[in-house]
């Protein structure tokens, strides 16, 4: 299920680790959902408020709660959502996000969202 | 002594500089003394046809990208991503200038946090670049999504939103918008809040970014110099001047009530002896031809400060290097000072810095108190042939090795807003 409408080498990922950029390319060209999971994890780490955690190099585990465990505030959540909207050209409603609390739930949500939108032309 | 009841006096106890002529007090002071400008060649929009060739650039920062993730600043400033995410490019300058000013004032961040007595008054025009970028996206996706930080990072007020949150300022927080008089208004009203006993301390922040979106609209007004030689481009009061040179940066002043400052053993630059304002009621953009509003603003400032025209020994002019504005200011200065039988030294430091718009009043106020404290008087190093309207003004070319005791700082903004401050050398009682 390749997502041909997504651009190669998007500027949003320009400063991301090479593993995340490779994973994006794999997802874009082959539809590999595991690769998408890697991109999402990289974004979660990127938007995590570092100050709240000190070093910011902790290992991300699927059950970790964005707010309670990773120090996200509502603006950081909004920023992350916009990042995915902008990167994957999808629209995410506030109500859809209400159930997203953990890293795993966020991965599942974005994977599901992109599955719904795969191949659809968007703005 | 001010006319305000309570006899409270206002002191400048800290300065922070991110300017075209230096990013710390020592560099700024050295360049003011040497008459060394901070203008550099620029090209906007990748188009050599744009008729703007030089600007007062900020060095050691990179904030050209529309993504804050791409920005860089000197590593000595501790700017976390949680703060950066809501900022405009000029917010980065302001953040660094504020950290610098607090350190200069001998204050730790916790000294100004959550104390209910420290206020934050800011001045900038917002970020036209980020606003344009955000609205372009909004149109491209027909309103379906947008950057959640789009509003707080771009509208006028972005400085106060971000800095108040980061530094936990719990006294009065607000912004001032009167174009090139904005930061001067911020200083004036900060002074009043302290004199009224409402605040003990106010952090006054002026900042502007320098990019196509901020500057080129002024080229459309035919207000910018088209010179490519920095020595010729910003020539306040010179007969050959052809417009102003844009600039970016940020300057922060820490103002404190005198007894409060004394109680914590603060070092003092100078006293804000008073301020005044008056408007032209004449044109949306041009000064009144005789500087009518500016004349009254100067009179109001002198009265508020309780000093006569003869007490002023240096005027830091607004002097942007535009044909109309400099002439109006020259006429206003002659009407006030020459009529009183005195000729203070007059200079416009915009010859060295260019014109940083909303920031101008704060930058030049800081230069004034530096001149008082360190004992020098900035000159007009780019002045070759003074305009005939300046014939009776004392416009030293070189920096004078003696400092002023009492200084007038002028600013004028669109719509004819004129704001003046009087700063005095401080003798601890």
The pLDDT tens digits for B31-81 are 999 999 999 999 999 999 999 999 999 999 999 999 998 999 999 999 998
Q: Is B174 a catalytic residue?
A: no
Closest-CA residue of chain A to B144:
A91
CATH of domain B10-424: 3.40.47.10
Q: Which of A48, A40, A50 is nearest to A12 (CA)?
A: A40
Of the listed ranges A118-122, B325-329, B383-387, the one predicted with least confidence: A118-122
B141 to chain A: which residues are within 8 Å by CB? 123
Q: Who contacts B410 (Cβ-Cβ below 8 Å, separation ≥6)? A: B294, B297, B298, B315, B316, B317, B318, B329, B418, B419, B420
- Whether B82 sits inside 8 A of A51 (CB atoms) is yes
- Whether A11 sits inside 8 A of B67 (CB atoms) is yes
- pLDDT at position B69 is 86
Q: Which two tokens stand for residue A120?
A: 């659809």
Measured in whole angstroms, the distance separating CA A99 from the mean position of its chain's CA atoms is 16
Give chain A's mean pLDDT.
83
- Residue A52 to chain B, least CA–CA distance (Å): 9
- pLDDT at position B76 is 96
- Whether A82 sits inside 8 A of B81 (CB atoms) is no
CA dihedral sign, ordered B163, B167, B168, B170: negative
Interface of B with A in 120-179 (CB under 8 A): 137, 140-142, 144-149
Helices A103-117 and A74-88: angle between axes, nearest 10 degrees: 30
- pLDDT at position B3 is 60
Residue B118 contacts residue B202 (beta carbons within 8 Å)? yes
Q: Is B355 a catalytic residue?
A: yes
- pLDDT at position A112 is 84
The residue annotated as part of the active site, out of B68, B122, B180, B420, is B180
Q: How many helices (H) and strands (E) does chain B have?
A: 15, 12
- Whether B147 sits inside 8 A of A82 (CB atoms) is yes
Question: Does any CB of chain B come closer than 8 Å to the CB of residue A91?
Answer: yes
DSSP state of B44: S
Q: Which of B258, B271, B234 is nearest to B360 (CA)?
A: B234
Residue B329 contacts residue B294 (beta carbons within 8 Å)? yes
DSSP state of A94: H
Residue B10 contacts residue B247 (beta carbons within 8 Å)? no
Confidence of residue B187 (pLDDT cuts 50, 70, 90): very high
In tens, the pLDDT along B241-275 reads 999 999 999 999 999 999 999 999 999 999 999 99
Q: Could you give the CA distance from residue A82 to residue B218 in angstroms, rounded to a whole number?
A: 34
- Whether A79 sits inside 8 A of B148 (CB atoms) is yes
Q: Which two tokens stand for residue B408?
A: 């007038």
Q: Could you give the CA distance from residue B383 to residue A38 in angstroms, rounded to a whole number?
A: 62
- pLDDT at position A56 is 53
- Whether B85 sits inside 8 A of A82 (CB atoms) is no
- Residue B148 to chain A, least CA–CA distance (Å): 6
Q: Who contacts B405 (Cβ-Cβ below 8 Å, separation ≥6)? A: B311, B313, B372, B424, B425
Domain residues of chain B, as ranges? Answer: 10-424
- pLDDT at position A119 is 47
DSSP H/E element including B231: helix B230-233
The proportion of chain B whose per-residue pLDDT surpasses 90, expressed as a percent, equals 96
Q: What is the largest CA-CA distance in chain B?
A: 66
Q: Which two tokens stand for residue B276?
A: 């005044």
In tens, the pLDDT along B199-236 reads 999 999 999 999 999 999 999 999 999 999 999 999 99
Question: Does any CB of chain A come closer than 8 Å to the CB of residue B113?
Answer: no
Question: Does any CB of chain A come closer than 8 Å to the CB of residue B67?
Answer: yes
B142 to chain A: which residues are within 8 Å by CB? 123
Q: Who contacts B139 (Cβ-Cβ below 8 Å, separation ≥6)? A: none
- Whether B81 sits inside 8 A of A49 (CB atoms) is yes
A80 to chain B: which residues are within 8 Å by CB? none
Q: Give me the total of CB pairs closer than 8 Å, taking one residue from chain A and one from chain B.
A: 40
Q: Which two tokens stand for residue B170?
A: 């719990």
Q: What is the ipTM of this complex?
A: 0.80
- Whether A49 sits inside 8 A of B67 (CB atoms) is no
Instruction: Classify residue A113 as exposed, middle or buried by CB count within 10 Å of its CB (0-12, 13-18, 19+).
Output: middle
Per-residue three-class SS string for B136-178: HHHHHCCCCCCCCCHHHHHCCCHHHHHHHHHHCCCCCEEEECC
- Residue A11 to chain B, least CA–CA distance (Å): 10
Q: Who contacts B418 (Cβ-Cβ below 8 Å, separation ≥6)? A: B181, B277, B278, B279, B280, B291, B293, B294, B296, B297, B410, B411, B412
Please tell me which of the candidates B80, B140, B148 has its beta carbon nearest to residue A75.
Answer: B148
Backbone angles phi, psi at B252, to 5 degrees: -125, 135
Residue A48 contacts residue A56 (beta carbons within 8 Å)? yes
Q: Which of B117, B15, B62, B101 is nearest to B364 (CA)?
A: B15
Interface of A with B in 20-39 (CB under 8 A): none
Residue B28 contacts residue B370 (beta carbons within 8 Å)? yes
Instruction: State yes or no: pLDDT of A50 exceeds 80.
Output: no
- Residue A18 to chain B, least CA–CA distance (Å): 17
In tens, the pLDDT along B274-308 reads 999 999 999 999 999 999 999 999 999 999 999 99
What CATH superfamily classification does A11-117 receive?
ACP-like (1.10.1200.10)
Interface mutation vs chain B, best among A44, A49, A93, most B CBs within 10 Å:
A49
Confidence of residue B365 (pLDDT cuts 50, 70, 90): very high
Q: Could you give the CA distance from residue B408 to residue B316 in angstroms, rounded to a whole number?
A: 6
Indicate the SS3 state at residue B17.
Answer: strand
Closest-CA residue of chain B to A79:
B148
Q: Is B37 a catalytic residue?
A: no
- pLDDT at position B346 is 98
- End-to-end, the C-alpha distance of chain A in Å comes to 20
- Whether B80 sits inside 8 A of A49 (CB atoms) is yes
Q: Could you give the CA distance from residue B127 to residue B89 in angstroms, rounded to a whole number?
A: 7
Residue B195 contacts residue B3 (beta carbons within 8 Å)? no
Please tell me which of the candidates B81, B82, B141 has its beta carbon nearest to residue A123.
Answer: B141
The proportion of chain A whose per-residue pLDDT surpasses 90, expressed as a percent, equals 36
The residue annotated as part of the active site, out of B90, B355, B382, B421, is B355
Please tell me which of the candidates B70, B80, B85 has its beta carbon nearest to residue A79.
Answer: B85
- Whether A50 sits inside 8 A of B80 (CB atoms) is yes
- pLDDT at position B266 is 98
Please tell me which of the candidates B82, B142, B148 has its beta carbon nearest to residue A82.
Answer: B148
Q: Which of B382, B90, B117, B62 is nearest to B245 (CA)?
A: B382
Q: Who contacts A76 (Cβ-Cβ below 8 Å, separation ≥6)? A: A47, A48, A49, B82, B85
Q: Which two tokens stand for residue B326?
A: 């400099």
């Amino acid at each position: 299920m390749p997502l041909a409408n997504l651009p190669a080498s998007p500027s949003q990922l320009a400063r991301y680790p090479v593993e995340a950029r490779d994973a994006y390319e794999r997802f874009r060209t082959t539809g590999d959902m595991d690769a998408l999971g890697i991109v999402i994890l990289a974004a979660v780490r990127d938007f995590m408020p570092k100050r709240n955690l000190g070093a910011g190099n902790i290992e991300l585990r699927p059950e970790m709660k964005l707010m309670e465990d990773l120090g996200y505030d509502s603006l950081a959540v909004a920023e992350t959502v916009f990042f995915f909207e902008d990167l994957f050209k999808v629209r995410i409603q506030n109500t859809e996000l209400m159930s997203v609390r953990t890293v795993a739930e966020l991965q599942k949500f974005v994977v599901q969202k992109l599955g719904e939108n795969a191949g659809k032309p968007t703005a | 002594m001010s006319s305000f009841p309570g006899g409270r006096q206002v002191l400048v106890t800290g300065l922070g500089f991110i300017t075209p002529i230096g990013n710390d007090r020592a560099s700024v002071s050295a360049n003011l003394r040497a008459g060394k400008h901070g203008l550099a060649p620029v090209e906007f929009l990748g188009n050599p046809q744009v008729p703007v060739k030089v600007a007062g650039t900020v060095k050691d920062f990179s904030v050209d990208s529309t993504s804050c993730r791409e920005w860089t600043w000197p590593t000595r400033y501790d700017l976390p991503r949680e703060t950066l995410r809501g900022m405009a490019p000029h917010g980065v300058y302001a953040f660094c200038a504020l950290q610098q000013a607090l350190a200069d004032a001998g204050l730790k961040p916790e000294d100004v946090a959550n104390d209910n007595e420290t206020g934050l008054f800011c001045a900038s025009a917002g970020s036209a670049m980020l606003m344009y970028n955000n609205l372009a996206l909004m149109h491209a996706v027909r309103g379906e999504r947008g950057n959640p930080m789009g509003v707080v990072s771009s509208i006028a007020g972005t400085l106060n939103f971000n800095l108040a949150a980061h530094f936990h300022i719990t006294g009065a927080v607000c912004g001032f918008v009167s174009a090139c008089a904005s930061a001067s208004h911020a200083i004036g009203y900060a002074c009043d809040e302290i004199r009224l006993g409402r605040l003990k301390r106010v952090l006054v922040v002026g900042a502007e970014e320098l990019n196509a979106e901020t500057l080129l609209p002024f080229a459309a007004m035919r207000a910018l110099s088209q010179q490519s030689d920095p020595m010729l481009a910003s020539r306040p009061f010179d007969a050959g001047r052809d417009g102003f040179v844009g600039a970016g940066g940020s300057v922060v002043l820490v103002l404190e009530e005198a007894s409060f400052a004394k109680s914590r053993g603060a070092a003092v630059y100078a006293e804000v002896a008073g301020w005044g304002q008056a408007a032209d009621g004449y044109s949306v953009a041009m000064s009144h031809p005789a500087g009518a509003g500016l004349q009254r603003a100067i009179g109001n400032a002198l009265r508020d400060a309780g000093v006569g025209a003869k007490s002023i020994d240096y005027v830091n002019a607004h002097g942007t290097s535009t044909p109309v504005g400099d002439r109006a200011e020259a006429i206003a200065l002659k009407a006030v000072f020459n009529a009183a039988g005195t000729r203070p030294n007059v200079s416009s430091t915009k010859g060295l810095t260019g014109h940083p718009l909303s920031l101008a009043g704060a930058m030049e106020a800081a230069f004034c108190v530096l001149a008082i404290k360190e004992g020098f008087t900035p000159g007009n190093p780019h002045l070759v042939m003074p305009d005939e309207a300046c014939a009776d003004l004392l416009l030293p070319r070189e920096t004078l090795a003696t400092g002023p005791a009492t200084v007038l700082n002028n600013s004028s903004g669109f719509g004819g807003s004129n704001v003046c401050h009087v700063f005095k050398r401080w003798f601890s009682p």
